[in-house]
Structure 1
Amino acid sequence: MTAAGRAAPDGPAAPAEAGNEAGNEFPAPTVSVIICAYTEERFSDIAAAVGSIRAQDRPAAEVILVIDHNDALLRRARAAFPGSTVVPNEQPRGLSGARNTGVERATSDIVAFIDDDARAAPDWLSKLTAPYADPNVVGVGGTVTADWVTGRPDWFPPEFDWVVGCSYVGLPTTVSEIRNPIGAAMSFRRRVYPLVGGFSDGIGRVGALPLGCEETEFYIRLRRALPGCSVLHVPGAVVHHRVPGARARWTYFQRRCFAEGISKAIVTDSVGATAALEAERAYVRRTLPRAVARSLRAREDWPRAGAVVAGVAVTAAGYGRGLVALRTGGVARPNGSPGAARTAAGPRATLAAGVPHQLRKRSAPGRPSAR
């Protein structure tokens, strides 16, 4: 879940990088777009994602497709996308390791990320990269709209669209400072990567249980490494995220909320509660009460009000379960946590131990699970 932000200051922008003493402009920064994929079941989505980047009105310098420990998909993608750089994930299995592999292969000034089941609007890159004219801006994210394959459930509150990896009610509606962008449409300056150390192992998605928040933890460390830097939300930079029917179910809603709670516990342990939960506390205090009140005023929307209350309760339960496991030493901390050794297994062990049996997603042996 990303953070609601505050409006960017008015007035003239800071001196841009694009200029010199003679008044001539330097070339616009180059952009590498990174797409991480893990299953052949999404191959048509992967092709659509790659195609949407190739159709940008501001071309990317390179498209890097990182395949997460799937040799068959790696061979197929290399054959299908000869104009792209297709590489295997060289780090531990999972989204964090795949993203790190992509960044380490990138050569451009800016690295941007789009999910393998998302499609970028033709002007996504031009709008996403425009704020980098200000040298103080180190990260920019855009809007992720939900493309519901089977239709949006009547009970699903728009304030909880983060459950399906999309922008939600409560985010800024104008260009604004935020804590962190949504992972399906984010970017940062490549030169800051060595200062931050990359995405932490063990926080991002892998396997059947939907951990997240690796973007939150990364951007918090980025801000600490560069005090006074800006991370912006640009609503006009849009990608469309495919939401399959399996994610429109009540059981997925519960699983994802519980996993989000555990993920927040891991981030809290890494960077402290103030940084990890500042935006979430404001979201619970302001946005969600308005959502419940609005739904209760319309009798037919009462199920949506119930989903808001249930979502908060299940997320809080996951947070509590994660803290207990961390504090009792039942889990190794991820790379990036204070004093932690590099590990990919620890937080997912917490999740596996903490998710109630009835909320776990079962997968056929040897078959990748949806994420």
Structure 2
Amino acid sequence: MSGDVRAYSVVICVYTEERWSDILAAVDSSRGQSLAPLETLVVVDHDEALRARLAAVFAAAEGVRVLTNAGPRGLSSGRNTGVAAARGEIVAFLDDDAVAEPDWLRHFDAAYDDERVIAVGGRTLPVWASGRRPAWFPEEFDWVVGATYRGLPEGRVRVRNVLGGNASFRRTAFDAAGGFATGIGRDGGRRPLGCEETELCIRLARAVPGAAILIDDRSVIHHKVPPARERFAYFRARAYAEGLSKALVARSVGAAKGLESERRYVTRALPAGVARGLCDAARGRPGGVGRAAAILVGVLTTACGYAVGLARSRGGTAAFSHGPAGPRERAAAVPGGGAGAA
């Protein structure tokens, strides 16, 4: 780290009291960082009972603020609310059912010594409710449960986009590109949509030529996988929703960039995964055939979702809002004006 000390705002978006203990653990892991954040912002998604309960718990906690999502229901609006209120030079995002390792922010920070770096993501490890990965569940599809998947590059490397539950951005990134698109991603509905961070990173790369987006796999969080998400039914539902989400991303930023990384993943990582599963089956290892079959089903289901998403969007008009677009909007959201680097 350089001599300059960068201030971090950690944003944790929450929406249900069912995750109460998880939320407390996430906040504790933020406050326990070896590089202490300036603040931890807990953004509640239109649940007054949860907001009041959290506000009472953290009333005397230094550096913790409980906020209400200022936009429409959904994760993107919650994140945009956190960005608008944040006072740190760097805004980091942590899932409400995840725990960050103590050096999570410190590893992020090392990358920001390079002024070209505008966003840094980390590695997310799944914590299975059953205590172990289901034998049929391929590592290539760990994105289904919000974790880092086989096929992503290792180390500290440049990528197209970070994964939203374990990511950080310079505040200037939102000045340049706006916030998370509220027409993409989870909005409280039943279908597990996503990809809002992908769309933002593509817009960001266009808005700031020469900017670098990195993943550093030393910045580790541990993300809980509840029993329902260990089931094949959820695997299929999430894969289908991912296809729908990719269609929205392609509509917003174009298919060339919207599917750039996915083409490499489908043509390289997934065939290797199928071959690995079949080899395991030939050697008598459990789950090999199941993993190979799950990859094939996952690809076909995602492709189906993408086709349906494209068909739905034909002839329609874009309905994306990109949240806070610059310091003027932030100043209106934060009493006393916006703070942080411009």
Common fold, TM-score beyond 0.5? Answer: yes
Q: Structure 1 stretches of 5 or more lacking a match?
A: 1-15, 19-24, 337-371
Helix, strand or coil: the match of 1:133? coil
Helix, strand or coil: the match of 2:72? coil
Counterparts of 1:204 and 1:60 in 2: how far apart (Å)? 27
- Structure 1, residues 119-150: CA drift from partner, whole Å, max 9, x if none? 00011010111100110000000000000011
The match for 1:100 is: 80
Counterparts of 1:142 and 1:170 in 2: how far apart (Å)? 15
The match for 1:78 is: 55
Q: Find out whether 1:180 has 2:161 as its counterpart.
A: yes
The match for 2:335 is: none
The match for 1:282 is: 264
TM-score by length of 1: 0.83
The match for 1:343 is: none
- Structure 1, residues 161-209: CA drift from partner, whole Å, max 9, x if none? 0000000001111110001111111001002212111001121212211
Helix, strand or coil: the match of 1:335? coil
The match for 2:297 is: 310
- Structure 1, residues 66-110: CA drift from partner, whole Å, max 9, x if none? 000000000001011232110100011000000000000001100
Of the three residues 182, 195, 212, the one matched with 2:194 is 212
The match for 1:135 is: 115
Counterparts of 1:61 and 1:122 in 2: how far apart (Å)? 15
For 1:130, the aligned partner's letter is: A
Superposition map of 1:91-170 within 5 A: 91-150=71-130, 151-170=132-151
**Cα deviation, residue 334, structure 1:** 2.0
Counterparts of 2:173 and 2:315 in 1: how far apart (Å)? 35
Helix, strand or coil: the match of 1:324? helix
Counterparts of 1:191 and 1:332 in 2: how far apart (Å)? 25
The match for 2:183 is: 202
Counterparts of 1:313 and 1:116 in 2: how far apart (Å)? 30
State the identity %: 50
Superposition map of 1:32-111 within 5 A: 32-82=9-59, 83=61, 84-111=64-91
Helix, strand or coil: the match of 1:240? strand
Counterparts of 1:110 and 1:231 in 2: how far apart (Å)? 14
Of the three residues 235, 257, 263, the one matched with 2:217 is 235
The match for 1:296 is: 278
Q: Structure 2 stretches of 5 or more lacking a match?
A: 323-342
The match for 2:255 is: 273
For 1:99, the aligned partner's letter is: R
The match for 1:193 is: 174
Q: Which runs of 4+ in 1 moved over 4 A?
A: none
What is the root-mean-square deviation of aligned Cα atoms in Å?
1.3
Counterparts of 2:319 and 2:98 in 1: how far apart (Å)? 31
TM-score by length of 2: 0.89
The match for 2:231 is: 249
Counterparts of 2:244 and 2:57 in 1: how far apart (Å)? 38
For 1:335, the aligned partner's letter is: S
The match for 1:335 is: 321
Counterparts of 2:208 and 2:35 in 1: how far apart (Å)? 28
The match for 1:339 is: none
Counterparts of 1:328 and 1:134 in 2: how far apart (Å)? 43
- Structure 1, residues 224-262: CA drift from partner, whole Å, max 9, x if none? 000111011101110000000100001100000000000
**Cα deviation, residue 332, structure 1:** 5.3
Counterparts of 2:280 and 2:165 in 1: how far apart (Å)? 33
Does structure 1 retain, via aligned residues, the 8 Å contact 2:125–2:223? yes
For 2:241, the aligned partner's letter is: A
Does structure 1 retain, via aligned residues, the 8 Å contact 2:252–2:318? no
Counterparts of 1:65 and 1:335 in 2: how far apart (Å)? 22
For 2:245, the aligned partner's letter is: S
For 2:162, the aligned partner's letter is: P
